[in-house]
Structure formats: C-alpha cells, structure tokens
C-alpha cells in the first residue's frame, strides 16, 4: 500500500537488500519488527516490495531523532544482527529528508494521492 504521509518535510529510510536463500526465521522476525516499528513514536508509514531477490523497504519518520530511537531499540538491534549473520547477502540503508512530494489517484485528474491532504 502507498503510505499516507503528511506534508513534507519528513524523513525516509530507504533500505535495499539482497536476500540469501532460505527463510531462517526471516518472515517471522520481519513481521514482528514491522509491528514494533508501527508503535514507535514518529513512525509515519512504510512501503515494501521484493522481486527476484531484490527488496526495497522505505519507512517514513517525523524526524531524525525518531529514526535514531528506532535504530537503538534493543529488539530491532538484535534483528539487525541476524540480518547480517543469516538473511542478507548485501544491503544499503539510506537516510533521506523528503523535501516535496506529489501524487495521483485514478479518480482525480491531478493533485495528491494522499488521503491525509
């Protein structure tokens, strides 16, 4: 689902990964981490897709402080260690400040796809 984010500025963590073969507990942990992230202060939404082994997950946050707090969450830190040890062949995480956005939904001829605006 396209995340319903507020008016910029806000922050995005673009996490791109190549999975190794086999689940090794990945799906269960990923679901638990998503649930946990959604309860973090400053979490705005997430979008995720994986195709041919390449996964892109973009999470949106109110501030860099919110990203830092989620990074320091102990269960999240433990999951990150499993990521390096068992799940990912490679990943890159990029922290970015969203400056502007625009959107489209089929019902409209122009304007924002965002139901919050």
Minimum separation from the CB atom of position 69 to its own copies (A): 16
Minimum separation from the CB atom of position 108 to its own copies (A): 9
Preceding omega of 24 cis (within 30 degrees of 0)? no
The correct pick among 31, 34, 54, 78 for binding its own copies (CB under 8 A) is: 54
The correct pick among 24, 26, 30, 55 for binding its own copies (CB under 8 A) is: 55
The correct pick among 49, 72, 74, 81 for binding its own copies (CB under 8 A) is: 49
Please give the residues from 56 up to 115 whose contact with its own copies meets the rule CB under 8 A. 56, 58, 83-84, 88-106, 109, 113-114
Largest CA distance in the chain: 48
Residues 6 or more apart whose Cβ sits within 8 Å of residue 114: 4, 5, 101, 103
Query: Using CB atoms within 10 A of its CB, is residue 104 exposed (0-12), middle (13-18) or buried (19+)?
Result: exposed
- CA-CA distance, 24 to 22, in Å (whole number)? 6
Binding site for its own copies (CB under 8 A): 1-3, 5, 8, 12, 14, 16-18, 20, 47-52, 54-56, 58, 83-84, 88-106, 109, 113-114
């Amino acid at each position: 689902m396209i995340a319903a984010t507020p008016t910029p500025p806000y922050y995005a963590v673009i996490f791109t990964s190549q999975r190794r073969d086999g689940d090794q507990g990945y799906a269960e942990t990923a679901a638990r981490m998503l649930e946990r992230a959604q309860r973090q202060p400053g979490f705005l939404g997430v979008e995720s897709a994986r195709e041919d082994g390449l996964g892109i997950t973009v999470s949106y946050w109110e501030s860099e402080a919110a990203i830092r707090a989620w990074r320091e969450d102990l269960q999240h830190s433990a999951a990150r260690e499993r990521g390096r040890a068992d799940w990912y062949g490679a990943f890159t995480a990029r922290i970015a400040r969203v400056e502007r956005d625009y959107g489209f939904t089929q019902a409209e001829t122009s304007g924002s796809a965002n139901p919050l605006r």
